[in-house]
Amino acid sequence: MHDLNAKNFKPARRSPPDLNSTKSKHKAMKPHPAFNFKMKLLFTLAATATWLLPPISTRAQTFTYTNCDLVAAFRIAGGANDLVVDLGPASNFESLPARSVTTLTNLSATQLADALPTLNGVSWSVSAALRGNPNYPQYGLQTIWITSPRPDINTPGNVWNRASQGTLGGAASQIDAIGVNAASYGNGQPASADNTATGIVIPAASAFSYTYQVGAYGNLSGTFQGNPENTTPVDFDTAGLPSRSVLYRLEPDYSPHGTGVVVGFFDFKPDGTLAFTAGPPPERTTITNFTRNGNIATAWFPTINLVGYRLRYTDSAGLTTPISGWSIGGTLIGDGTTLFLQDTSSTANRFYTIEAYY
């Protein structure tokens, strides 16, 4: 059995992991291209002329990937280059506290600019697959983590379903290949600003590119139930809104298949940064019941587990101002049931709304 864990990370259990910590890299250094010449000299001149040799240099770190790492990938349809970024072990993202937000610094602005001429029309996804890495016994073989794009920040996207191990295996092999192939390609290139331990720019036409793996229809070459890629709008860089995708964990199960587990969501922002928020994304909710008894107003609304909700209110004069400017009343964390928030006030007329937030 080969050692699959040479570059692995133990999942953090007691404290949230630092998603931006430098990855442990244990890859053996490759010989410098001049090695052959140096070896010939060594064999020929042996002891008499070794003083002629310049010092043998080591080679800087090229892109590496470990099975079960989350990989973010970016491309433009028909573009020249893809960018592949290793975000670290998926399990690190699983153990973050709900609603915590982390900007992922493994995504390099330099590499993004070198790979993509614009941030408009960029297709991106984040995925991972467990393909035998024994460091994560809590997940079944062929478990995958994969994004579901939201059409816009306020509109839910597809809910990904679990599937049999054999079915997930097809997608898992493609996902694993994104990282494996990027590392192979990086190994054949000199280390550079576009080929670092955590990120690499790869020609889209290469058989080692993300474009090749995700396929023409974005569905991992026909192995996945849908398209995990989000594509930024044509006015992305000026509209000011993030491109949001929800990260699902899909573990193998038996028919009838359940839905995947929402781990969190990624926001790819117009400034070229990528942030991860743990837990489900906030969704617009509806006040399903409202009462006022004396000075106590009560608003009932359905909640999503782990999403934050807060009561906002204003008087009639404030109705013309944006809701984000209304006063904040009580707050709560949803648990998947219908809950309520209350406001105590003697004001005769007060207007209320429930805002989901993180």
Q: List contacts with other proteins (CB under 8 A).
A: 1-2, 4, 30-31, 33, 35-36, 39-41, 43-45, 48-49, 51-52, 67, 131-132, 141-142, 165-166, 169-170, 172-174, 176-177, 180-181, 184-185, 187-188, 206-208, 212-213, 221, 223
> Least distance from C-beta 37 to other proteins, angstroms?
9
The verdict on whether omega for the bond into residue 190 sits within 30 degrees of 0, i.e. cis, is no
> Least distance from C-beta 222 to other proteins, angstroms?
9
Nearer to other proteins, 105 or 223 (CB): 223
Nearer to other proteins, 96 or 172 (CB): 172
Nearer to other proteins, 101 or 216 (CB): 216
> Least distance from C-beta 166 to other proteins, angstroms?
5
Written as one letter, the residue type at 82 is D
Give DSSP secondary structure letters for 23-51: PP--PPPPPPTTHHHHHHHHHHHTTTSGG
Separation between Cα atoms, residue 153 and residue 233, nearest integer Å: 12
Give DSSP secondary structure letters for 176-244: HHHHHHHHHHHHTS--BTTB-SSEEEEETTSTTSHHHHH-TTSSTTTTSSS---EE--TTHHHH---EE
Written as one letter, the residue type at 325 is G
First to last CA, the chain: 44
What is the b/e burial string over 90-120, where b = at least 16 CB atoms within 10 angstroms of the residue's CB?
bbbbbebeebeebebebbbeebbebbbeebb
DSSP code at position 141:
T
Nearer to other proteins, 200 or 306 (CB): 200
Nearer to other proteins, 34 or 323 (CB): 34
Which pair of structure tokens corresponds to residue 106? 């493994």
Nearer to other proteins, 194 or 267 (CB): 194
Nearer to other proteins, 34 or 159 (CB): 34
| CB-based contact 219:146 (threshold 8 Å) | no
Nearer to other proteins, 23 or 131 (CB): 131
Nearer to other proteins, 20 or 223 (CB): 223
> Least distance from C-beta 353 to other proteins, angstroms?
48
> Least distance from C-beta 177 to other proteins, angstroms?
4
| CB-based contact 7:135 (threshold 8 Å) | no
Q: What are phi and psi of 32, to 5 degrees?
A: -65, 145
For tokens 């998603």, name the residue.
19
Separation between Cα atoms, residue 48 and residue 165, nearest integer Å: 62
Which pair of structure tokens corresponds to residue 316? 């009639």
> Least distance from C-beta 210 to other proteins, angstroms?
12
Considering only CA atoms, give the Rg of the chain: 25
> Least distance from C-beta 30 to other proteins, angstroms?
6
Written as one letter, the residue type at 175 is I
Q: Of 9, 3, 27, whose CA–CA distance to 183 is shortest?
A: 27
